[in-house]
Amino acid sequence: MVTSSPPRQPAPNSYMGRRPRR
């Protein structure tokens, strides 16, 4: 469990078209 890190929110699919931000 990572508590010192901010909650990972689903990034908008506008980076590489329809590819999830990795």
Give the pLDDT confidence score for residue 20 in this predicted structure. 58
User: DSSP label at 5?
Assistant: S
Indicate if the pLDDT at residue 5 is higher than 60: yes
Q: Which residues are CB-neighbours of 15 under 8 A, at least 6 positions away?
A: 21
Q: Provide the β-strand partners of residue 16.
A: 19
pTM equals: 0.12
Q: What is the CA radius of gyration of the chain?
A: 11
